[in-house]
């Protein structure tokens, strides 16, 4: 019973966000989603009625609504227009696909982990469309929950199946030939510029031409961390910190990869690909310990590019 009330409230909230009445939404479904939504559900909406009699359609209805853009605020609306969405970019689609490939976790498992087993199907369907690049916008907080959860998972370990993979037959050994081999002298190796003993010795490995321009991030006013992320020590990367990250990289010409690889005291679990996503704006929050360490470590490096 509580679940039914919760889902119907969600549907009403999404209708208010999009600025659509039930009748208008019914017309939209009739034009674009007739094969997906039962005709009885569409007729109910066209009559301006609630969908309490069609619980089997709630997931698809929410799914379609959450992919629609925001409408203009209407007087008396109970929807909070501080809830923000952002456009789904090619970089975001590439990121989500890379993370699922890296972790080998299923979309269903991620959706269940984030929203629970009772209401995971709508999120599951949305994540599928993020991966295909067919959604126009994504809820910022929902995107961050999914990406942050994926980022917290380790790389998948490949275990070969002996039943499926047969080893090639061993080749017969060639007869041993007693031929003296003369060892070739090894070329002198350049001293490595990466050290794991002193953060300040990380050497510049970038040029200004290789540093991409800063891409604007979504408006952070509506971005709120979930209570679970807060308990794990996450904070929102505010605009000042975002600009400082870029300024420090440009000042030192040290890449994130080198900054992390050259350190002996990096926090446990900090990965360069995570920090790269801070720079790209595809991850808007970070563990406070990790963010503080990156900013502090950058600040201790000497200036190479004065600006």
Domain boundaries, the chain: 2-66, 88-151, 199-299
| Contact yes or no for 144/284 (Cβ under 8 A) | yes
CA distance 178 to 165: 37
Task: For the chain, give the percent of residues with pLDDT over 90.
Answer: 12
Label residue 75 left, alpha or beta by phi (over 0 means left) and psi (-120 to 50 means alpha). beta
Contacts of residue 44, defined as CB under 8 A and 6 or more positions apart, other chains included, come to 26, 50, 51, 53, 54
Distant-in-sequence, close-in-space partners of 119: CB < 8 Å, separation ≥ 6: 3, 6, 7, 59
Lowest mean pLDDT among 43-47, 73-77, 252-256: 73-77
pLDDT above 50 (res 82): no
Task: Report, as an integer, the average pLDDT of 185-206.
Answer: 53
Judge contact between 267 and 290, C-beta under 8 A: yes
**In the block, residue with structure tokens 């979930």:** 226
Q: How far is CA 291 from the centre of its chain?
A: 17
Q: How far apart are CA 92 and CA 87, in angstroms?
A: 9
Note the pLDDT of residue 138.
84
Please say if the pLDDT value at position 40 is more than 90: no
Residue 78 has pLDDT above 80, yes or no: no
Alpha carbons 274 and 266: distance in angstroms, whole number: 13
Q: Give 222's pLDDT tier (boundaries 50, 70, 90).
A: low
Answer whether residue 172 shows pLDDT above 70: no
Task: Please say if the pLDDT value at position 239 is more than 50.
Answer: yes
Q: What is the mean pLDDT of residues 40-47?
A: 85
Q: What is the pLDDT of residue 244?
A: 94
41, 57 Cβ separation under 8 angstroms:
yes
- Answer whether 248's CB lies under 8 Å from 302's CB: no
Give mean pLDDT, residues 2-12. Answer: 70
Per-residue pLDDT, averaged over 78-103, amounts to 76
| Per-residue confidence (pLDDT) for residue 293, from 0 to 100 | 93
Out of 28-42, 150-164, 221-235, pick the least confident: 150-164
What are the φ/ψ torsions at residue 234 (nearest 5 degrees)? -85, 150
CB 306 within 8 A of CB 208: no
Average pLDDT value for the chain: 77
- Alpha helices per DSSP H over the chain: 2-18, 22-32, 39-46, 58-66, 90-103, 107-115, 120-132, 140-151, 227-231, 239-252, 256-261, 272-280, 288-299
pLDDT above 50 for 46: yes
Lowest mean pLDDT among 17-21, 76-80, 118-122, 227-231: 76-80
Task: State the pLDDT at residue 231.
Answer: 78
CB-based burial label for 32 (10 Å; 0-12, 13-18, 19+): exposed
Per-residue pLDDT, averaged over 180-194, amounts to 47
Of all residues in the chain, what percent carry a pLDDT higher than 70?
Answer: 77
Separation CA 223–CA 238 (nearest Å): 11
Residues paired with 137 in a beta bridge: 87
- If we measure between CA atoms, which residue out of 263, 191, 219, 258 comes closest to residue 82? 219
- pLDDT at residue 192 in the model: 37
């Amino acid at each position: 019973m509580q679940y039914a009330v919760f889902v119907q409230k969600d549907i009403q909230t999404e209708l208010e966000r999009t600025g659509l009445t039930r009748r208008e939404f019914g017309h939209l479904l009739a034009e674009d989603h007739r094969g997906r939504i039962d005709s009885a559900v569409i007729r109910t909406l066209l009559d301006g009625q609630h969908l309490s009699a069609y619980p089997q359609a709630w997931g698809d209805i929410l799914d379609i609504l959450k992919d629609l853009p925001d409408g203009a605020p209407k007087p008396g609306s109970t929807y909070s227009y501080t809830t923000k969405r952002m456009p789904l970019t090619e970089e975001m689609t590439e990121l989500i696909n890379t993370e699922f490939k890296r972790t080998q976790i299923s979309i269903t498992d991620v959706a269940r982990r984030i929203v629970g087993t009772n209401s995971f199907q709508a999120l599951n369907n949305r994540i599928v469309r993020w991966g295909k690049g067919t959604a126009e916008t994504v809820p910022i907080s929902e995107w961050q929950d999914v990406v942050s959860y994926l980022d917290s998972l380790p790389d998948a370990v490949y275990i070969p199946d002996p039943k499926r993979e047969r080893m090639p037959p061993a080749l017969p050994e060639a007869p041993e030939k007693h031929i003296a081999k003369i060892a070739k002298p090894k070329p002198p190796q350049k001293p490595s510029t990466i050290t794991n003993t002193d953060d300040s010795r990380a050497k510049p490995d970038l040029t200004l031409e290789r540093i991409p321009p800063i891409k604007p991030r979504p408006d952070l006013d509506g971005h709120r961390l979930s209570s679970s992320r807060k308990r794990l020590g996450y904070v929102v990367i505010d605009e000042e910190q975002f600009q400082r990250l870029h300024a420090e990289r440009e000042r030192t010409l040290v890449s994130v990869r080198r900054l992390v690889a050259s350190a002996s005291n990096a926090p446990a679990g900090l990965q360069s690909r995570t920090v790269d996503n801070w720079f790209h704006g595809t991850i808007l929050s970070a563990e406070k310990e990790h963010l503080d360490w990156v900013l502090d470590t950058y600040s201790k490096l000497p200036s190479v590019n004065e600006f």
